[in-house]
């Protein structure tokens, strides 16, 4: 009813696909944004300490509810163990097989995100799953291999939980990231940790292959995706468009320019070249 109120001039819809569809079907001008499922690729040239610190800072901010926050980490095989060790040293919990199954069982409900775990702490989610982790645990990490809907950890989780994948090499890592984006979060955000100064071809390749509007390099995704803090290319906003890939009308970070009407006063000033005919 609110969307159809005569005093409503434009609808800015931030939420699930149902709400966005309702906004677009309201008969009012609408700007909708899509869901994220941000994959992170860490290659063998990355600064591992910075990568892990950035991911943990991002993923623990507001307990992971920012739509741009990391959902999966894909690590090249040659540095996988070092990244895994660094996560554990910095407060993440690497779940064993039994724990991973228990946590995976509460991430989704009826095939969709379980609202009961959204924004909860890592310890609270562990308690819901019936396992114990230290109260100060930062993130729960499930080491998995499937990148399709059958794997609970592969979905958007909006909580301090992460999937972690081992990739054979950089190309395989990008391929896995592509699959995760296509499964959920197309058009939203992706992230790469690499030696950005000496690996321009990898930055270019990642940018070419990712169907996301925000492609972040060596940047915590939550803070980087919303713009301004870690880059000057994205407008500061918590409303992130996914473009036609994600069924949205825009692919930018929504800002004031999208919410105003512009008038243009155009005085007559004839452009004679427009009338010029080619010489015979």
Which domains, and CATH codes, for the chain? Answer: 38-233 (3.40.309.10)
User: CA torsion angle for 135, 139, 142, 143 (degrees, to 10)?
Assistant: -120
The contacts of residue 172 (CB under 8 Å, 6+ apart) are: none
Per-residue model confidence as pLDDT tens for the chain (280 residues): 789 899 999 999 987 778 888 999 999 999 999 899 999 999 999 999 999 999 999 999 999 999 999 999 999 999 999 999 999 999 999 999 999 999 999 999 999 999 999 999 999 999 999 999 999 999 999 999 999 999 999 999 999 999 999 999 999 999 999 999 999 999 999 999 999 999 999 999 999 999 999 999 999 999 999 998 899 999 999 999 999 999 899 999 999 999 999 999 999 987 777 666 677 6
Q: Supply the residues annotated as catalytic.
A: 67
The contacts of residue 67 (CB under 8 Å, 6+ apart) are: 33, 35, 36, 156, 158, 188, 189, 225, 240
What is the pTM (predicted TM-score) of this model?
0.91
């Amino acid at each position: 009813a609110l969307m159809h109120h005569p005093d409503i001039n434009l609808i800015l819809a931030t939420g699930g696909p149902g709400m966005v569809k309702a906004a677009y079907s309201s008969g009012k001008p609408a700007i909708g944004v899509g869901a994220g499922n941000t994959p992170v690729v860490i290659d063998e040239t990355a600064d591992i300490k910075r990568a892990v610190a950035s991911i943990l800072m991002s993923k623990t901010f507001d307990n992971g509810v920012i739509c741009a926050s990391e959902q999966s980490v894909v690590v090249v095989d040659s540095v996988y163990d070092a990244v895994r060790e660094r996560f554990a040293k910095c407060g993440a919990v690497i779940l064993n097989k039994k724990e991973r199954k228990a946590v995976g069982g509460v991430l989704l409900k009826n095939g969709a995100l379980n609202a009961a775990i959204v924004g909860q702490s890592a310890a609270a989610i562990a308690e819901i799953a019936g396992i114990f982790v230290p109260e100060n645990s930062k993130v729960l990490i499930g080491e998995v291999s499937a990148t399709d809907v059958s794997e609970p950890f592969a979905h958007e989780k909006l909580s301090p939980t992460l999937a972690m994948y081992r990739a054979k090499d950089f190309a395989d890592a990008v391929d896995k990231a592509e699959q995760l984006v296509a499964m959920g979060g197309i058009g939203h955000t992706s992230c790469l940790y690499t030696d950005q100064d000496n690996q321009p071809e990898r930055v270019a390749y990642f940018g070419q292959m990712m169907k996301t509007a925000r492609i972040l390099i060596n940047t915590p995704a939550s803070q980087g995706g919303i713009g301004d803090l870690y880059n000057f290319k994205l407008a500061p906003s918590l409303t992130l468009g996914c473009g036609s890939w994600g069924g949205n009308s825009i692919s930018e970070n929504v800002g004031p320019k999208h919410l105003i009407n512009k008038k243009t006063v155009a005085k007559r000033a004839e452009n004679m070249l427009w009338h010029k005919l080619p010489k015979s």
